[in-house]
Structure 1
Amino acid sequence: MKISINRLKEYLPFDQSPEEIADLLTASGLEVEGISTYESIKGGLKGVVIGEVIHCEPHPNADKLSLTRVDVGERILPIVCGAPNVAKGQKVPVAIVGATLYPTDGEPFAIKKAKIRGEVSEGMICAEDELGLGSSHEGILVLDTDLPNGTPLGSLIESSETAVLEIGLTPNRADAASHLGVARDLKALLRKELVVPDVSDFAVDRECPAFAVSVADTTDCPRYAGLTIRGVKVVPSPLWLQNYLRAIDLEPINVIVDVTNFILHDLGQPLHAFDADAITGNEIQVKRLPKGTKFTTLEGKERILTGEELMICDSKGGLCMAGVLGGKDSGVTDDTQTIFLESACFGADVIRRGAQHHGIKTDASFRFERGTDPNMPVFALKRAAMLIRELAGGEISSAIVDHYPAPATYLSVPVAYRHVDRLIGEVIDRKEIKTILESLDIRVEEETSEGFLARVPPYRVDVTREADVIEEILRIYGFDAIPLKDNYQSEYLAEHPEKDGNKLQYRISETLAGMGYSEIITNSLSSAAYSSEANFLDVEKDVVILNKLSEELGVLRQSLLYTGLEVLAHNINRRQKDLKVFEFGSVYSKIEKGYAEGKRLSLFLTGNSIRENWMHASEPAGFPELYAVVEALLAKLNIPLPDVQLVECAPYTFGLTLRVNQQELGDIGLLETAVTRQAGVKQEVYFAELDWDRLVKLAKKQERYREISKFPEVRRDLSLVIDQQVSFEELRQLAIKAGGKLLKRINVFDVYTGDKVAPNQKAYALSFYLQDDQQTLTDKLIDKTMHKLMTAFEKNAGALIRK
């Protein structure tokens, strides 16, 4: 939201600089994100003065140039001029040496002393476009003025300059979404009085029959007011109004529309002007239209109504989507002569639903969605009508129709001084509290030594509780005014978990980068064809985009698989076949009660892990390499090694499901050829997709230091013959239970299948690493541990131990 400092000063005269005002507002909760300067004429014509041509003759060395001498007050400048219309006796704009010009087209340029075809030139006689005043470049601008030579051109040509504050308005501060709203806060901060526009002179010029108003639902439209103005001329706005709008990044349209925009940004009250001659019948109806009704909005787009939108209608049909956007057929045009001016208060919920469904965001809906002042519509209507009459002519031809069956009242909020003292942390003088609240238009009534009754105006939709009133006191009193103490205590401390998902993600990204993996970021939008063709994804769970840009970007992805494969295909097609990539990204699915979103970590490995060189032949990437990376990541997060279960279904040719504490972490395996070819990849791809949200929850605080054992590690090997169906994971789990704390690591260093074992059997060679942190292991203890291991393998895995 942009706020003009010049307009604020009209509400509240002050001497503080824009930077000081920005600091005050930011400290009180209206965060100023930036300060810029608006100039109606770029550069403000600085360095350009009025001069008089006292001598003019042809340039001796150029046919199309003239040598002039120009009186600029204190001195006479020699200037070479190329304009065909320059002549002695003219009053002209002169840019003196050092000035910077901002032309209508092109880049700014500085005026320097120069020699042109051998003649000195100490300035420039300017054309209209060179000053940024228009587009004409037919010749120099000849001035009609009696002002003395040397007078700054800005004294003759009206220009406007103002500092502009960019305020990051929080959703709760609907009351501050205008110049008046910001001025109210400054009033309290600076302890000054507001200068509110005077509408006491409002009067009906010639009363004619007015439109009647009927409201079907006073909850969705608690107030609706309007009046008619006849004989208006739809012309461009005066310069002051155009400059006001441009300063806050609005483009002027015509005087009627510009006045409604001015009121909206000035008072925070949206208005809408209808072409009264386009209204059928004598009644304005605020109601809903049937579902499926077609309505064309102001920008010419036909929309299908849901039946929930609040509409402004005449006897024929819809004129305007209330509080959101006007209709094409009833809008003000250049030929409009009579307008019906609407000023209303609409319910926040109905406006929000309508705007969101149709994807419309306007300045009006922005304010109505957050809550507007129900007591402002008539004041704003009078102010706008008086401005339109002044700027566009015409007569106010009807009394104000004001449908306001249940006027809003001040909200009563009991406040106890002990709670004020407790929440603020300091005892503030009771008179100061009363002064602050009354400066915010919050009345203090029924005051006792224990507390008071705060009467909150209707426009403060965010102040509904005792804590809200106390917050108002503190933000105006000043957070910085509360001194820091050595010791603080609180009745309640919120839980702040030490784990930070962003920091953990950064740590894992660094780890993967160190392993040679590159990070990718892909689009969350994907093609519906992937889920429809893949039997491991559920088409019913696709989150379909309503306003999709294309079928290729028509759904939100259920997995990081296909968007990652597209990246692999792109690189492989460009002869980059050895790839290690990872991605942190969100996945989405439709569930019974809405939609679900989760974060995943994906890993892709394809091509060769070792490229061919003079020392080694190329070595293709394999499953163990990717699994080792996953193990390293879990170790980095201080998560124990997972339990694994074999996966023999799509999208994997073979793979594993990883679990820790019965919680599934994700899958890892070799992708099926059919799956990779869907994305155009024609080589083997190893893939892992891990549930990052779950990993963050399981991650434990890293131990910064751990003492290295002083006692040696012992290795013992076993050779086992087991059935083909027995997995290493089963053996590992048996070993962990049997080996106890002494068993630190297990490793497979050989696997054999062949004619020396039965067809349905295999031989494993396992190494076991034993260590005691408290003492040196004895042969007796080692043998005892190994005996436990062998017994467990024989009894529970049917293993034959080769001794």
Structure 2
Amino acid sequence: MKISLNWLNDYIDLKDISIDEIVERLTLAGLEVEEIIDQSKNFQNIVVGYVKEKRKHPNADKLSVCIVSDGTREYNVVCGAPNVQEGQKVPFAKVGAKIPFNGLKLEKTKIRGELSEGMICSEKELGISENHDGIMVLNSELKEGTPLADALGMNDIILDIAITPNRADALSHIGIARDLSAIFDRPVKLPEVRLKESNFKSEEIASVEIVDVVNCPRYIGKVVLNVEIKESPEWLKNRLKSVGLRPINNVVDVTNYVLYEIGQPLHAFDLDNLSERKIIVKCASDGEKFVTLDSKERELTSKDLMICDAHKPVAIAGIMGGENSEVTSSTKNILIESAFFNPSSIRKTAKRLGLQTDASYRFERGTDYDITVWAARRAAQLIYEIAGGEVAKSEIDVYPAPFPKKSVELRYSRIKKILGYEIPEEKVKKIFINLGFEIKKEDDTKISLIIPSYRHDIDREIDLIEEVARIYGYDKIPEVDKISVTLEEKIDQTYFNDEVRNILISLGFFEIVTNSLLREDIAKRFGKPISVLNPQSIEMTHLRPSLLPGMLQAVLNNLKVNEKNLKLFEIGKVFERKHDNEIKSFDDFYEKESLIIAITGNAVEREWYEKDRQYDIYDLKGYVQSFLLKLLSLSNIEIKKVTDTNEFDLAIQLKYNETILGQGGIIKNELLKLFDIDQNVLAFIFDLDLIKSIQIPKKEFKELLKYPKVYRDFAFIFDETVEAESVIEIIKKSSSKLLHHIKLFDIFQSESLGKGKKSLAFQLEYYDENRTLTEEEVDKDFWNAIKTVEEKFNAKLRGI
């Protein structure tokens, strides 16, 4: 957003304040000044010159030799422009000046044998316009020697300010002036609108109907008849040029001037091109075509708000007018539009059409619905002054459901509690009055403020406190040498996530961060995704229901650069519908934090002393166990094989006290093909929210075992379908408390065992913490386990 300092001074007196202080205070108040452009520096050493004499160049037919005066001395200048004449006042660049158009530094030189001590410039060479037909001829009343910047009114300083999306009120000179008024405690001087109106009324000449009152809550129409369309006066053109706008004609220039003055977009229609002189605000039809002012045909949908006359559309509401109603040199009668449009509607249409204008930029952020009448009257006043005509009395104001005034209460004690220092109550009130807030009521402890209609971003007490802080000065917040903060271990989310990262990094994993938005077909493959109302592209239409697709894309990106051995992890939020119905409330979907780890490639690289080995399910299981043991010191976790998962062929599930904390395994080939991955990838997905909720057992010292352990081994022949885990479960259930650990130490298959058979060998560990076990009690427990296994699985004991 470009702001002219000269223009700004029309509304607030800043002449005695340095530009550096203005820039610093604006930036501290949240309006960051990104660039300062001093126009006068473009015209250094360029002055108003007077052509005293012109003669033909003796050695060139198309060149002239001029004598140019700057009021103190005369210069010999060779000029090639056909329109240079004696007696003219011209822009004269002296030796040492830099030409704005190309940065060329002028030197004293000879051209075809004649001395040239400078240059007479065209508008293009000065960077003023594209006109290069001849030199620029200045007003003859200008005094020679006057700096050109002063003569052209281009001695301005332009501030390029970054406006945050919530500060739509600052997208104008008066909006910036309001903040400066509060910062420097100086009054804002709004232009006085005094109209010389005719006897006829706007509503007698034109009419307005709003069909879609949701997307257009208010529409103002103001009629001006018998105007003369011509070039704008220099002061108006200079104002527009200073903020980067191209002057068009006096009526259009006025609408742009008011836009940058107060922030209200306006549009001027040729009233005679409006059928029945009627305006209807309604949505377009699907597939409807419309040609905008840039001569491009746009295809519309039923969600696009349009400004129509009695028979046809004439503008895309809040974005751009149409060729069929634009103001041209033949226009005599105009209708000024000043409206308030629903920001969401304008944003969606502008986004879909890829068409952003100065008007849409403001409408989609929220304009001031109360300033619409003032803006229309201000435009009518300026049009009357520079284009003549007759201004209709009153305005057509269609406002079916006026917005209620909003008020918010502010407690003085709350300001001190939030900011950490006390601000005088009178200073607080002065800040809000200068910002345009109205005091509704007050007492010794609090103040109730009516929020101005241009501050859509103010809803709560904390918003008011932020206003006080940014105007009074964030730099006034006192420095504190020491702040004591107590955090409960493992409860603070940031601390917990940092612990997760540190543990995984210690296990050799690298963190990745992927996009939380996915393409629709990918998102639906991994769950019930939630669609985004206003997606940036077709690749980012749905929120991710799983971290797995992002991980697979990261694996692919690494494989493409020949990084094939990977250990990666990501912490992130996932989002999923609870059912297939439309989302109407927060109860219809869930959001949770997940952790995914993935391994692929070789676990061991080939060396002279060992062969290479690819990662397998046991590596994944080991990393899961190590991670949880380091994070929560949990030993009684279960990792079991599961079937029937959408993502994994050989899947394992993590359980703690019957709560499923996550699952993973070898990713299905069909998913790997979806991402063009040609090697096995193993992954495990943890539910971090559930893991955080686990009550960590208090660590206690346990005395070392004083009594010996007793070990027993046995092996059984089972059907090959029997899993070791089910055998271990049966042994545990049939044994006494003396059995503390069961270990599978051998799996053997051979034709000698029989077809469809396998041998599983187990080691059982017995002990008692308070005494030495006897052979009899261990044997009793051990043989009972053997008997149970034989009966339960029809197994055959191989040996002891």
TM range (shorter): 0.7 to 0.9
Query: Secondary structure of the equivalent of 2:653?
Result: strand
Residues 1:199 and 2:193 are matched in the alignment: yes
In the alignment, the residues of structure 2 paired with residue 349 and residue 392 of structure 1 have an alpha-carbon distance, to the nearest angstrom, of: 36
- State the partner residue of 1:780: 772
Q: Is the 8 A contact 2:76 2:116 kept in 1?
A: yes
In the alignment, the residues of structure 2 paired with residue 311 and residue 100 of structure 1 have an alpha-carbon distance, to the nearest angstrom, of: 49
In the alignment, the residues of structure 2 paired with residue 767 and residue 83 of structure 1 have an alpha-carbon distance, to the nearest angstrom, of: 106
- State the partner residue of 1:226: 221
Q: 1:155 to 1:9 in 2, by over 3 A?
A: closer
Q: Is the 8 A contact 1:297 1:303 kept in 2?
A: no
Q: After superposing the two structures, state which structure 1 stretch, 649-658 or 598-607, moved more.
A: 598-607
Query: Secondary structure of the equivalent of 2:197?
Result: coil
Alignment of 1:582-621 (within 5 A): 591=579, 592-594=581-583, 601-621=595-615
Provide the alpha-carbon RMSD of the alignment: 6.1
Q: 1:639 to 1:46 in 2, by over 3 A?
A: farther
Q: Is the 8 A contact 1:543 1:588 kept in 2?
A: no
Task: Give the CA deviation at 1:629.
Answer: 3.7
Task: Give the CA deviation at 1:382.
Answer: 1.4
Residues 1:273 and 2:268 are matched in the alignment: yes
Task: Give the CA deviation at 1:170.
Answer: 5.4
Q: After superposing the two structures, state which structure 1 stretch, 455-464 or 667-676, moved more.
A: 455-464
- State the partner residue of 1:341: 336
Cα-to-partner distance string for 1:418-458 (whole Å, 9 max, x where unaligned):
77777777776555555444444444466666767655555
One-letter amino acid of the counterpart of residue 614, structure 2: P
Q: 1:688 to 1:478 in 2, by over 3 A?
A: same
Cα-to-partner distance string for 1:103-141 (whole Å, 9 max, x where unaligned):
35xxx5666899999999998887765554555789998
Q: 1:47 to 1:423 in 2, by over 3 A?
A: same
Cα-to-partner distance string for 1:370-409 (whole Å, 9 max, x where unaligned):
6544432221111112223344554435643334577778
Cα-to-partner distance string for 1:322-368 (whole Å, 9 max, x where unaligned):
44554564444565443211123456677678778888766545655
Query: Secondary structure of the equivalent of 2:297?
Result: coil
- State the partner residue of 1:305: 302
Residues 1:721 and 2:715 are matched in the alignment: yes
Cα-to-partner distance string for 1:497-539 (whole Å, 9 max, x where unaligned):
3435874675467447x45x585857944473x689xxx756x
- State the partner residue of 1:622: 616
One-letter amino acid of the counterpart of residue 666, structure 2: L
Q: Is the 8 A contact 1:673 1:684 kept in 2?
A: no
One-letter amino acid of the counterpart of residue 12, structure 1: I
In the alignment, the residues of structure 2 paired with residue 159 and residue 788 of structure 1 have an alpha-carbon distance, to the nearest angstrom, of: 105
Query: Secondary structure of the equivalent of 1:196?
Result: coil
Q: After superposing the two structures, state which structure 1 stretch, 176-185 or 360-369, moved more.
A: 360-369
Task: Give the CA deviation at 1:179.
Answer: 2.5
Query: Secondary structure of the equivalent of 2:275?
Result: coil
Pick from 759, 762, 787 the counterpart of residue 759 of structure 2.
Answer: 762
Task: Give the CA deviation at 1:196.
Answer: 0.9
Q: 1:36 to 1:419 in 2, by over 3 A?
A: closer
Cα-to-partner distance string for 1:572-597 (whole Å, 9 max, x where unaligned):
67766555555667766554343666
One-letter amino acid of the counterpart of residue 263, structure 1: V
- State the partner residue of 2:586: none
Cα-to-partner distance string for 1:308-334 (whole Å, 9 max, x where unaligned):
x76544322544454455456444456
In the alignment, the residues of structure 1 paired with residue 656 and residue 316 of structure 2 have an alpha-carbon distance, to the nearest angstrom, of: 54
Cα-to-partner distance string for 1:175-215 (whole Å, 9 max, x where unaligned):
44433233223223322221111212443498785213345
In the alignment, the residues of structure 2 paired with residue 270 and residue 785 of structure 1 have an alpha-carbon distance, to the nearest angstrom, of: 93
Q: 1:180 to 1:754 in 2, by over 3 A?
A: same
Q: 1:629 to 1:334 in 2, by over 3 A?
A: farther
One-letter amino acid of the counterpart of residue 225, structure 2: R
Residues 1:12 and 2:12 are matched in the alignment: yes
Q: 1:424 to 1:63 in 2, by over 3 A?
A: closer
Q: 1:666 to 1:611 in 2, by over 3 A?
A: same
Q: 1:614 to 1:239 in 2, by over 3 A?
A: farther
Query: Secondary structure of the equivalent of 1:499?
Result: helix
- State the partner residue of 1:32: 31
Query: Secondary structure of the equivalent of 1:284?
Result: strand
In the alignment, the residues of structure 1 paired with residue 781 and residue 63 of structure 2 have an alpha-carbon distance, to the nearest angstrom, of: 105
Alignment of 1:175-574 (within 5 A): 175-204=169-198, 209-215=204-210, 223-232=218-227, 241=236, 244-245=239-240, 248=243, 255-286=250-281, 288=282, 292=286, 294=288, 296=290, 298=292, 300-306=297-303, 312-320=307-315, 322-323=317-318, 326-327=321-322, 329-332=324-327, 336-346=331-341, 363-364=358-359, 367-368=362-363, 372-397=367-392, 399-403=394-398, 431-432=426-427, 434-444=429-439, 454=449, 457-461=452-456, 476-477=471-472, 497-499=492-494, 503=498, 507=502, 510-511=505-506, 514-515=508-509, 519=512, 521=514, 524-526=517-519, 528=521, 543=531, 559=546, 561=548
One-letter amino acid of the counterpart of residue 640, structure 2: V
Query: Secondary structure of the equivalent of 1:305?
Result: coil
Pick from 641, 644, 650 the counterpart of residue 645 of structure 1.
Answer: 641
Task: Give the CA deviation at 1:305.
Answer: 1.2
Task: Give the CA deviation at 1:13.
Answer: 0.7
One-letter amino acid of the counterpart of residue 103, structure 1: F
Q: 1:77 to 1:480 in 2, by over 3 A?
A: same
Q: Is the 8 A contact 1:721 1:761 kept in 2?
A: no
Residue segments in structure 1 that go unaligned for 5+ positions in a row:
none
Q: 1:113 to 1:317 in 2, by over 3 A?
A: closer
Q: Is the 8 A contact 1:210 1:399 kept in 2?
A: no
Task: Give the CA deviation at 1:369.
Answer: 5.7
Q: 1:93 to 1:191 in 2, by over 3 A?
A: same
Q: Is the 8 A contact 1:22 1:165 kept in 2?
A: no
In the alignment, the residues of structure 2 paired with residue 164 and residue 112 of structure 1 have an alpha-carbon distance, to the nearest angstrom, of: 32
In the alignment, the residues of structure 2 paired with residue 96 and residue 401 of structure 1 have an alpha-carbon distance, to the nearest angstrom, of: 59
Q: Is the 8 A contact 1:93 1:143 kept in 2?
A: no
Q: After superposing the two structures, state which structure 1 stretch, 44-53 or 777-786, moved more.
A: 777-786
Cα-to-partner distance string for 1:561-612 (whole Å, 9 max, x where unaligned):
5665566567667766555555667766554343666665555544444444
- State the partner residue of 1:46: 44
In the alignment, the residues of structure 2 paired with residue 76 and residue 786 of structure 1 have an alpha-carbon distance, to the nearest angstrom, of: 122
Q: 1:440 to 1:713 in 2, by over 3 A?
A: farther
In the alignment, the residues of structure 2 paired with residue 82 and residue 564 of structure 1 have an alpha-carbon distance, to the nearest angstrom, of: 68
In the alignment, the residues of structure 1 paired with residue 618 and residue 113 of structure 2 have an alpha-carbon distance, to the nearest angstrom, of: 81
In the alignment, the residues of structure 1 paired with residue 764 and residue 248 of structure 2 have an alpha-carbon distance, to the nearest angstrom, of: 82
Q: Is the 8 A contact 1:94 1:126 kept in 2?
A: yes
Q: Give the structure-1-normalised TM-score.
A: 0.72
Paired residue total: 771
Query: Secondary structure of the equivalent of 2:759?
Result: strand
In the alignment, the residues of structure 2 paired with residue 733 and residue 285 of structure 1 have an alpha-carbon distance, to the nearest angstrom, of: 77
One-letter amino acid of the counterpart of residue 8, structure 1: L
Pick from 677, 681, 684 the counterpart of residue 686 of structure 1.
Answer: 681
Q: 1:510 to 1:401 in 2, by over 3 A?
A: same
In the alignment, the residues of structure 1 paired with residue 447 and residue 134 of structure 2 have an alpha-carbon distance, to the nearest angstrom, of: 73
- State the partner residue of 1:103: 101
In the alignment, the residues of structure 2 paired with residue 310 and residue 601 of structure 1 have an alpha-carbon distance, to the nearest angstrom, of: 44
Q: 1:527 to 1:486 in 2, by over 3 A?
A: closer
Q: After superposing the two structures, state which structure 1 stretch, 433-442 or 271-280, moved more.
A: 433-442
Task: Give the CA deviation at 1:164.
Answer: 1.4
In the alignment, the residues of structure 1 paired with residue 746 and residue 664 of structure 2 have an alpha-carbon distance, to the nearest angstrom, of: 22
Q: Is the 8 A contact 1:295 1:305 kept in 2?
A: no
One-letter amino acid of the counterpart of residue 267, structure 1: I
